[in-house]
Structure 1
Amino acid sequence: MTQDPRKPPRALDTELIHHPYLPPQDFESVAPGVFKGSTIFFPDVAALRARRWIDKSGYTYGLHGTPTSFTLEERLATLEGGRHTLLVPSGLAAIALVDTALLKAGDEVLLPDNVYGPSREFARHELARWGITHRFYDPSDAGSLGSLLSAATRLVWLEAPGSVTMEFPDLRGLVRLARAAAPRPVVALDNTWGAGLAFKPFDLGEGLAVDISVHALTKYPSGGGDVLMGSVTTTDSKLHEQLALSRSRQGQGVAANDVETLLRSLPSLPLRYAAQDATGRQLAHWCRARPEITRVLHPALEGSPGHEHWASLCSAAAGLFTVELDARYTQAQVDAFVNALRLFRIGWSWGGPVSLAVPYRAQSLRSLPVPYGGALVRFSAGLESAQDLIADLEQALQVLKGRGGRGAE
């Protein structure tokens, strides 16, 4: 479009910035458009003063949302079965947002003893420094939560299954107890393992639901091991506004290119989750038959802690499981076993295409006594061939027993 001859000419540098051309608005493609911007223009002062972003009726500033981030938030709300979703920079940021938005000095938060480690540390350090107390309940015993609920309890965290040790709790029983308390605390669930696919946190049956579901999108929704992002979802508009305003005051935002990556990965999430679920179960069953392994912790396996609760609620499982090695093996032997793995790489996180393994000392993860005497190794099944992964485990177990292979000493 050339310059309108009826208007006085402008310098080229001005024209490049204030060019009159606007593209037509009817472009539609598989991939949503990627909108980047901090400053967002308003047509007039009245619009600047009146426009709202919390209900996604308009745009005010890049930190508060763009068409790209709003699109991902809406799709994630559908995935989780909620109404409102907020994006934050990581899964831990999602947990921290819930804690800081809902708690104040003098309040108490209750955490399952098998809670995600960084959530435990956030409570022990930041929350404690701000005068917010925390206590741990036994997630395998709903009565343990009931005995700790008090007038100061404002937030109850759930995790299904527990981090590393994979116990699947009685979610319905825990939610029922929390809802019966007075005053009624907010119930928040870390739903990263379920990924919105294994079960619906806002429809647990029997009229029960959590108030908030947080999700480390870094894991299965991303699927590539290359994006850090988290989400906070709820069905309650008032609670959503409280969380959204706190996010705004904390300056939490996400990058448009990261949102683009999530939008591209999201359609394949059910396929990837199902494939990694199948591989994880195959590996877990194989491990169960090995004499070097005392116990396999996988919610979908009979005999695993909380299996009956998983079976009553879930239709799927993540490709994540933990093995307890026989107590006769030293930590050095266990570390040599992990070092000897060739396809399983050593690294934090899970949900990506590459299988991962990390060794743990059981008691270091918990505040309450643990029933695990041997060392633990958590495995995350990637998208490799299950038979190739089994062969990798087979050769590494020879190192555990001290019979050759890479990593033996």
Structure 2
Amino acid sequence: MSDLSTQLIHHPYTPPEGFEATAPGVHKASTVIFPNVAAMHDRDWKRREAYTYGLHGTPTTFTLEARIATLEGGQHCLLAPSGLSAVSLVDMAFLKTGDELLIPDNAYGPGKTFAEGELADWGISLQFYDAMKPSDLAAKLNRKTRLVWLEAPGSVTLEFPDIPALVAVVKAHNANAAQAHPLRVVTALDNTWGAGLAFNAFELGADVAVQALTKYPSGGGDVLMGSVVTRDVTLHDTIQLCHMRLGLSVSGNDSELVLRGLGSMALRYAAQDAAARALATWLQSQPQIAAVLHPALPDSPGHAAWKRDCKGAACLFSAVFKPELTQQQINHFCDSLKLFKIGYSWAGPMSLCVPYNIQAVRSLPWPHQGGLVRFAVGLEAVADLQADIAQALAAMHYS
């Protein structure tokens, strides 16, 4: 090889084995090199025993999958480019034309929109059910149902459902329909809020656990990624085939960032939990506020189920303002906050807030008349965050 470019591409040097560090190595590849044709033919891309193509995994993504599976208490994990893509992947893996999907009315909005848009266009019907009433789920399960989503707590309004009771309803339906309809209904739980730390989705009975790794596992507010975890290899294989056909993958660099975040995840979760509870409790006493929604508060819907099933709570709480305060005043309150920035997502180091019109995004009646603001507590000092909310509440009177 006399040409320099050829020498550089086919350079014989390989680094010595035995290097070990606290951070896993970052491997990036589209093409994976096989030692011979026999090895190419022998490797099965569906099993994590060897490498076939970058789309199917590298040492970095395999490492992250294994750790997320452990976090969730599962056996098998697949990574997706975002939390929403993980939700959509589960939908597409288990649903076909003529099937029906059941989603909690208070579920993650973009997941509902995907069902109302693409899934509806593909001939998949949809019903929303009241997650706080297992009887409502039981009434809506039918011979077309193939997938039931669970979410704990509900998005934005944070009602905490009785997950075991909802799962029991689905299991009873499956048992009664087993002979006539051998295709059982699958339960999938969005565990982004619990993050594998507050509760174990599989111990509460779910078949599939989904997370937006964008949130707690990353923790930096700078990565988009999702995960789908199962214990059942048959369910995993069904999801994995769909995952491959869709060409879903994540980058080595993004995987490195999530791997780095996992080490501090439990500490961050606990710190933000304590801060959110302190602020939520204090905010209850403020005259502008009609209700504060946080599963750990005794008056919050589903508190008893949260207390029974959970070891902690995430960084979120929502404040319902008194009806006499206009949306313009509530928007002015958000604009007046200095430490709480206006932005979507949560579980990063910076505190965030977003105003919501709940009546516009729910089909079931919403018991409150006032406007709502969701707070996501970061890692700032609680006293500073409380002072920030206090000054913004005072500013409402001057809007």
Band of TM-score, shorter chain: over 0.9
Unaligned runs of 5+ in 2: none
Equivalence for 1:257 = 253
**1:112 aligned to 104, 107, 129, which one?**
104
Equivalence map 1:317-396=2 (5 Å) = 317-396=313-392
Match in the other structure for 1:186: 186
Is residue 362–residue 372 contact of structure 1 (8 Å, CA) maintained in 2?
A: no
For residue 55 of structure 1, report the CA deviation from its aligned partner.
2.1
Residue 161 of structure 1 aligns with which residue?
153
**Counterpart code for 2:223:** V
Structure 1: runs of 5 or more not aligned: 1-8, 403-407
Q: C-alpha distance in 1, partners of 2:340/2:140?
A: 40
For residue 75 of structure 1, what is the amino acid of its counterpart? R
Match of 2:264 in 1: 268
Aligned to 1:195: 195
**Equivalent of residue 297 in structure 1, options 293, 299, 302:** 293
1:61 is aligned with what amino acid?
Y
Q: Which amino acid is the alignment partner of residue 401 of structure 1? A: H
Amino acid at match of 1:367: S
Report what 1:227 is aligned to. 223
For the residue of structure 2 that corresponds to 1:58, the secondary structure is: coil
Paired with 2:347 and 2:247, the residues of 1 have a C-alpha distance of 28
Following superposition, the deviation at residue 44 of structure 1 comes to: 1.3
SS in 2 for 1:70: helix
Distance 2:360 2:218 in 1: 29
Contact 1:90 / 1:216 at 8 angstroms: preserved in 2? yes
1:124 to 2:120 alignment: no
Counterpart of 1:50? 42
Instruction: Output the amino acid matched with 1:25.
Output: E
Q: How many residues are matched?
A: 391
Equivalents in 2 of 1:64, 1:287: separation in Å? Answer: 48
| Contact 1:155 1:188 (8 Å CA) reproduced | yes
What TM-score comes out, normalization by structure 2 length?
A: 0.97
> 1:6 maps to which residue?
none
The structural deviation recorded for 1:365 is 2.0
CA distance in 2, matches of 1:313, 1:55: 34
Deviation at 1:46, TM superposition (A): 1.6
User: 2:306 is paired with a residue of what secondary structure?
Assistant: helix
Within-5 A mapping of 1:208-247: 209-247=205-243
Residues 206-254 of structure 1 show CA distances to partners (whole Å, capped at 9, x for unaligned) of xxx2110000000111111000000000001111111111111101111
Identity %: 57
Aligned to 1:19: 11
Q: TM-score, normalised by structure 1?
A: 0.94
Report the AA paired with residue 191 of structure 2.
N
Aligned-pair Cα RMSD in Å = 0.9
Amino acid of the structure 1 residue aligned with 2:36: D
> Secondary structure at the residue paired with 1:401?
helix
Kept in 2, the 8 Å contact 1:224–1:353? The answer is yes
- From 31, 40, 48, the equivalent of 2:32 is 40
Which protein is bigger by CA-based radius of gyration?
1
Residue 144 of structure 1, CA deviation: 0.5
